[in-house]
Amino acid sequence: MESPRRSSPTSPLRSGSTSDPASRRIHVLREDVARKIAAGEVIDRPYAVVRELLDNALDAGPRRIQVEWENGGIDLIRVSDDGGGIHPEDLPLAVLPHATSKIESEQDLESLKSLGFRGEALSSIAAVSSLQIHSALQNGDGRLLTVQHGGPVRITEQARARGTTVTVRDLFLDLPARRKFLKSGRSEALACRRSFEEKALGFPEVEFVLRADQAPTRTYPPASLLERVRAFADPSLGADLQLTESTWEWARLRCVFAPPTFSRRDRAGIQVFLNRRRIVDFGLSQAVQFAFGDFQPGGSFPYCWLFLELDPAQVDFNIHPAKREVRIRRPDALHAFVTRVLRDELRPLYHRSPELGDVWPLRKPEEGRPATGSTMAYPTTVSLPSWARETAAPPHPAPRPSLRYLGQIFRLYLVAEREGRLYVVDQHAAHERLNFDRLRTRAHERQPLLVPLEVPLDPEVREFWEANREMLERVGVRAHLDGARLVVHEIPALMRGLEPDLARFLQEPRGDTRDLEREFYARMACRMSVKANQELGPEEATRLLEEVFSLPEPRCPHGRPLWIEITEATLERLFGRT
């Protein structure tokens, strides 16, 4: 694990911009350079002010940054840093369009190490708010610049400690058309908080302090990357988060992730940072999903913070006004690298402890997991499903734990005692999960249909067939076109009887087809599974439970838990016996 560092940036690729910021002077960019810079609205809402002011503060090489806002930033935003400050003679230049100290020529973009480079933020902010910049190169110096809604610039002397404080009041006050688009203070505050969090995650070695509206002040001391992510992650992930690092040619990867047993049903748990900026990049988040996909059921997504550092020459941030999107050279090679590193990291998790057999490597609930009334269950002894076995070493024979089936309740849950714990198992979710794994591993066991399934070939079905032929082959569905119909002649043997569901799947209109394969398995598994309200005999129930307790991943294909577990200790506590 890396150790916290205070002033020096953690990355070897980022040293220039912050090394001697005071020596750099502000100038207005030559027109030909200015014209090559991606234009666009940088300041649309308060969160954008927070982002731009934080970028500026971070480019000044600070140890500590303090952020404050009122009414979600609409009334006030203030960002203070103890970085290099602005040269007193440069202060009036800072609010001019295209005035920057960070680049001079277009070539400088090739070796860009700062967050800013367009010289647009302060001039845009000055035009739409009441702006103050108070800055000093050394303790005891200091000048204060004031501009009211694009009016004249005034400068006065006022001593302060080294660093810069920028205060933005009354955003869009005299622009009713823009102000109208602001949301409530509450939701603007949420967006501001996201800006703050993104910057704090990108710069863990800098101390961040936040005073947001009436909330108590929060301090994030300088930290390692892992600690900084923990400070912002869902607390239930805390101790389970882990860090992996790797380098390859022109890329350095650090990744903080939760074991695959933790998942979400959307992609919001995947965050990508490139050269310390949070970016939105479909290819990179998909590279993460591919790696986790081997270990997580369909429809569930990991918690993963990807921090990439690339040689600036390999990436172009000059394509999006907010630098949210980037162009990476050789993206495929980079994606493959990310997937490989993560997969290699996740694979051994399936196979670790010789004493216990194959173990899903989570702490058992009693080890440090906060004692709650009931905890998610993590089986200690499992045998791998065959799809996992393909990528892991052969499993050890594991002793079969004793299981006592107690009965079904509410016509949905199976209750059992096992190894001193009480389990309540969702029979549908459990069965669905087993069927999902079966379908995935036995897609090649096909069966010809005596009566082929015919689907009318409207334009949507044709388009779907053309785009997803290979995927259908992979999942075991074979079909051909015959005039105005799509004729399915072979399906996986396990799917016998599901023809109507398959027909529906083929005909359904859909926009996003990214996770189609998983969606297919999840949907078919759902149809194959015992439902709520279905009574199971004791033998059937026991068989289901035994299979389910040997899964490495106690979640259904939609990411819901399969069971909850209550320990004897929990019962004792609840009954006041301890």
Among 94, 182, 414, 488, binds ligand ADP (CB under 6 A): 94
For residues 461 and 445, give the distance between their C-alpha atoms in angstroms, rounded to a whole number. 25
Among 120, 207, 227, 553, binds ligand ADP (CB under 6 A): 120
CB of 157 to ligand ADP, least distance (A): 18
The binder of 117, among Mg ion, ligand ADP, none, by C-beta within 5 to 8 A per type, is ligand ADP
User: Which residue type occupies 395?
Assistant: P
Residue 102 interacting with ligand ADP (CB under 6 A) = yes
Residue 56 interacting with Mg ion (CB under 5 A) = yes
Q: Which window, 121-129, 322-330, 407-415, 449-457, contacts ligand ADP (CB under 6 A)? A: 121-129
Q: If we measure between CA atoms, which residue out of 199, 190, 154 comes closest to residue 74?
A: 190
Of residues 52 through 91, those in contact with ligand ADP by CB under 6 A are 52, 56-57, 60, 81, 83-86
CB of 16 to Mg ion, least distance (A): 16
Buried b (16+ CB within 10 A) or exposed e, 242-252: ebeebeeebbb
Bridge partners of 425, per DSSP, are 414, 563
CB of 133 to ligand ADP, least distance (A): 7
Residue 296 interacting with Mg ion (CB under 5 A) = no
User: Which residue type occupies 108?
Assistant: D
Angle, alpha carbons 32-35-40 (nearest 5°): 165
Residue 116 interacting with ligand ADP (CB under 6 A) = yes
In terms of C-beta density within 10 A (0-12 exposed, 13-18 middle, 19 or more buried), how is residue 574 classed?
exposed
Please count the other Cβ atoms lying within 10 Å of the Cβ belonging to residue 281.
20
Q: Which window, 5-13, 114-122, 294-302, 549-557, contacts Mg ion (CB under 5 A)? A: 114-122
Residue 116 interacting with Mg ion (CB under 5 A) = yes
Provide the token pair at 279.
């970016």
Provide the token pair at 117.
């480079």
CB of 37 to ligand ADP, least distance (A): 9
Residue 83 interacting with Mg ion (CB under 5 A) = no
First to last CA, the chain: 39
The binder of 33, among ligand ADP, Mg ion, none, by C-beta within 5 to 8 A per type, is none
Residue 84 interacting with Mg ion (CB under 5 A) = no
Q: Which is nearer to ligand ADP, 94 or 545 (CB)?
A: 94
CB of 571 to ligand ADP, least distance (A): 57
Q: Which is nearer to Mg ion, 111 or 247 (CB)?
A: 111
**Among positive and negative, which fits the CA dihedral 562, 541, 444, 451?**
negative
Strand order in the sheet with 242-248: 242-248, 251-257, 304-310, 270-274, 277-279
Q: Which residues bind ligand ADP (CB under 6 A)?
A: 26, 52, 56-57, 60, 81, 83-86, 94, 99-102, 116-123, 164
